[in-house]
Amino acid sequence: MSAVAAAGFRTLRSTMPHDGLTPVQRYVLVRLMINADALPFKVFGSLKKDKREDLVNREFLVVTGSPMILDLTQKGHDRAVAELGAEPPKGSGMPGATLYAALDFMQRLLEHTGTEPKDLFRLRLATNRPIVAAGPATDQPAEGIDLGQRIRSAYAQLSPRPGDYIALASLRAALTGVPDPQIDAALIDLNRAPDVHLVSESNQKAMTDEQRAAAVSIGNQHKHLLAIGL
C-alpha cells in the first residue's frame, strides 16, 4: 500500500459514515467481508427482515436463493472496510469491544504491511475486478490434457490478466465439444483450489439468458463468473 493509499485508508477510517446502521447490520457486513464469500442467512439469525431489506436497499447486500444466501456488493465491502479501526457500537459490551479491538489490529496490520483489505480477505466479489466478455479461445489444447487444465488454458486465453473475471458463457464457448455436465463437474472440482474463484453476478437484472444458462450450481448458488490467479 503506497503512502497515498495509506493516507486515504486513514481518511476513510476517520470519516466512517454515520449512516444509522444498527450494530447487527454492521456485524453482518464485517462477517461477510472477513468470510470473503456468501453465507447462508441462518448464520445471521439476529438480522431482522426490515434490517436485511434496508441493507439490500442501500445496495450493501445481495440476497439470492431459497434458503436465502447473503453476499456483499462492492459498495457493501467498502462500507465494511470502514469498520476497520472504528469505535465499537454503543451497548455492544465485551463481545463488541473484543471484535473491534481485532478489527483495529487488522487495520494497523494492513498499514504496516502495505496490504490492501481485499487481499487480506481474499475478496471474491464479481464487482471487484472487470468482467471480460471474450470470444472463443483460438489455440486448441494438446491431447491428453485433463479438463481442469483445459479450463485453465482457456481462461488464460480469454482473460487479459490473471484474476480478472470472465463469464462462464465465454468459457463454455471456448471449450468446443465438451458437454456442459463435464464442465460443471470440472468447475466444481477446480473451485477447491485456492487460486480459483467462482462467484455469482451481483447485477442479476443485467444478465442475458445465455449467461444465466451458463451458470454452474455450487452450494445452492448459481455461479456465473470465473477468475483464476491472485
Total number of domains constituting the chain: 2
Whole-number pLDDT of residue 221: 80
The verdict on 18 and 93 lying in the same domain is yes
Whole-number pLDDT of residue 56: 93
Burial pattern 13-24, b for ≥16 Cβ within 10 A else e, equals beebeeeebeee
Q: Which domain holds residue 63?
A: 3-120
Whole-number pLDDT of residue 118: 63
Amino acid type, 125: L
- 16 domain-assigned: yes
Q: Which three cell numbers stand for residue 178?
A: 465438451
- 126 domain-assigned: no
83, 30 Cβ separation under 8 angstroms: yes
Cα–Cα distances in angstroms (integers) from residue 15 to residues 79, 107, 142, 197, in the given order: 11, 15, 55, 32
- 207 domain-assigned: yes
Whole-number pLDDT of residue 121: 67
The verdict on 94 and 148 lying in the same domain is no
Give the domain-ending residue among 120, 140, 155.
120
Whole-number pLDDT of residue 133: 44
- 28 domain-assigned: yes
Whole-number pLDDT of residue 64: 84
In angstroms, the CA 36 to CA 106 distance is: 15
- 100 domain-assigned: yes
The verdict on 7 and 110 lying in the same domain is yes
Whole-number pLDDT of residue 68: 87
pLDDT 10s digit of each residue in the chain, 230 long? 444 444 444 444 444 556 889 999 999 999 988 887 788 888 898 899 999 999 999 999 988 887 888 988 888 888 998 898 888 888 888 988 899 898 888 888 878 777 777 666 654 444 444 444 444 444 444 344 589 999 999 999 998 888 888 999 999 999 989 999 999 999 999 988 888 888 887 777 777 889 889 999 887 788 888 989 86
Entry pTM: 0.50
- 188 domain-assigned: yes
Q: Which three cell numbers stand for residue 89?
A: 457500537
The verdict on 25 and 110 lying in the same domain is yes
